[in-house]
A and B are shown apart, each in its own frame.
Chain A
Amino acid sequence: MKRFVLPLFAGILFLILQTTLLSFLPIQRVRPDILLIFTLYLTFLLPPILGGILAMSLGYLMDLFSGNALGFYTFSRPLLFFAAYFFKERFYLEGFSSQFLFAFVFGMLEGVLILFLLNALQPVSLGNLYPMLFTFLLPQSFFTGLVAPVLFFLFQKVSSPLFRQPEQGIKERA
């Protein structure tokens, strides 16, 4: 129970920070997605079933706070979680650059997925949204990637005493 509730509360806290503190940033384009970083970190912290449910819950909450009427994040976040879960072994996640790359790649992947869903599921065509990949998605994913190593470090510091288990966390795994 603790393994679900505590990360859920942490996720809600990050979501609130994202809607308040980060929205005060003057340039919205570089606003990092800390909830995405947290979802990626969950792949090291939780088993796939629990983590998947938690990722979906956080995606649902994100949809609730957002102007997104269809609920793309309820779908994209668990999908991203499982993708990260199965591919995390392929990343050497010790250094800054690998952690940056990990968050950057999954940030881009989610963006492409949302863009695809936006184009595919809208009843009315939204026009050509694909230039946004370069003007908006790339800088945002870049900054999400930049923030990721710092947040991974902090998450690890906080979660290690709470979830004392070997084989978990970035450092222990290596």
Chain B
Amino acid sequence: MRIRGLFLFRRYSLPIFIVLLLLFALVLMSMRAKQRKGVELFDALLMEISFPFQKAATLVIKTVQGTFQHYVFLVNLEKENRMLKEKIAQLQEENHRMKEMKLANERLRQLLQFREKNSPSMIGAEVIGRDPSSWFKSVTIDKGEKDGVKKGMAVISPTGAIGQVLKIAPHYATVLLITDYNSAVDCVVERSRAKAIVEGKGENRCQLKYLLRAEEVAVGDVVVTSGLGGNFPKGLMVGEVKKVDKKGHGVFQYAELVPSVDMTRLEEVFVITESLQPAHPPEEKGRKGKKTKK
């Protein structure tokens, strides 16, 4: 009987292994679904190990890209003018670098002003990678738990809301963008104060959900955060309404939104380390009648 059992096990060892492996994967999925208990520490360790490589790869790619843009395309020039053109190339590169520095300076100054204006409890972070799959929309930033970043914290830029921290490692974090299908942010339409939930639709698009049919919403309306979620500050621009559809029956109407931030070109972001809602009651009051500054 025992021999027969062993024979059967050997015969079916591969199917048994496949079933066990897939079951294990399903168990991991369910653990993740239940607040990711048990896998969190392992995830953080793996993230900590792999993200420096990602950061290095981004740096190399940016350098190579810069070299191609500024130098390699100038190589195929006439021989007699090579010296002169090399000089021009060098000057152009220097000029370009200075322009780039100027732009970076302006951008960082803008970020600094934004930070000072809004709250000191923000951490600046650099985007070092993007989602490996095209189904989900997330970015990796170079700040983590050690820098004060926690799960669920809001990530913003001077032009608007970006997303929320989804996973954290000691020095890195993954941010779920507002364009992801799993993202939901409580918002209001700035003009009519109609409440809705902004959900991701992938590919730099969002939709307004639970927007009552009776509410007045038009194309071009600006949508801002309501501050009710507790993570995002109130009045932060989320995007602009691009399409309104009242067709069909039901309590709600449908609206599509284009985020104010181009999620494909994110470079520097801010992580809000504490809820801004209680810190700015006067601003909220003053903002009620006004439109958000762009």
Give me the interface of A with B, judged by CB distance under 8 Å: 12, 15-21, 23-24, 28-29, 31, 33, 35, 48-49, 52-53, 56, 59-75, 78-79, 82, 111, 114, 118, 121-122, 124, 126-127, 129, 132, 136, 140
How many whole Å from B250's CB to the nearest CB in chain A?
13
Residues of A within 8 A of B131 (CB): 19, 23, 65-68
Give me the interface of B with A, judged by CB distance under 8 Å: 14, 17-18, 21-22, 24-26, 28-29, 32-33, 36, 43, 46-47, 50, 53-54, 57-58, 61, 65, 128-138, 140, 166-167, 174-177, 180-182, 184, 202-203, 207, 264
Check B132 against A56 for contact (C-beta < 8 Å): no
Check B29 against A67 for contact (C-beta < 8 Å): no
How many whole Å from A83's CB to the nearest CB in chain B?
10
Which A residue's beta carbon lies closest to that of B31?
A71
A70–B166 CA distance with the chains assembled, in angstroms: 11
Residues of A within 8 A of B264 (CB): 28
A151–B43 CA distance with the chains assembled, in angstroms: 29
**Contact count A vs B, C-beta below 8 Å:** 141
Can you name 14 A-B residue pairings with CB atoms under 8 Å? A20-B58, A35-B132, A48-B17, A64-B46, A67-B131, A67-B166, A67-B176, A68-B135, A70-B33, A72-B29, A74-B28, A75-B26, A78-B21, A124-B184
Residues of A within 8 A of B28 (CB): 60, 71, 74-75
Residues of B within 8 A of A53 (CB): 21
How many whole Å from A123's CB to the nearest CB in chain B?
9
Check A67 against B134 for contact (C-beta < 8 Å): no
Residues of B within 8 A of A49 (CB): 14, 17
A75–B14 CA distance with the chains assembled, in angstroms: 17
**With A16-B54, A74-B28, A78-B21 given, is the CB distance from A23 to B129 under 8 Å?**
yes
Residues of B within 8 A of A48 (CB): 14, 17-18
Find B137's partner among A16, A60, A67 (CB 8 Å cutoff). A67
Find B46's partner among A21, A24, A33, A61 (CB 8 Å cutoff). A61
How many whole Å from A127's CB to the nearest CB in chain B?
8
A contact face: mostly helix, strand, loop, or mixed: helix
Check A82 against B181 for contact (C-beta < 8 Å): no
Rank and list the top 3 A-B pairs by shortest CB-CB distance, nearest first: A67-B138, A23-B130, A67-B136
Check A68 against B133 for contact (C-beta < 8 Å): yes
**With A21-B57, A67-B176, A69-B166 given, is the CB distance from A118 to B135 under 8 Å?**
yes
Which B residue's beta carbon lies closest to that of A30?
B134
**With A75-B29, A78-B21 given, is the CB distance from A19 to B132 under 8 Å?**
yes
Check B21 against A56 for contact (C-beta < 8 Å): yes
How many whole Å from B31's CB to the nearest CB in chain A?
8
Check B57 against A20 for contact (C-beta < 8 Å): yes
How many whole Å from A34's CB to the nearest CB in chain B?
9
A20–B55 CA distance with the chains assembled, in angstroms: 9
How many whole Å from A87's CB to the nearest CB in chain B?
14
A49–B28 CA distance with the chains assembled, in angstroms: 19
Residues of A within 8 A of B50 (CB): 12, 15-16, 61, 64-65
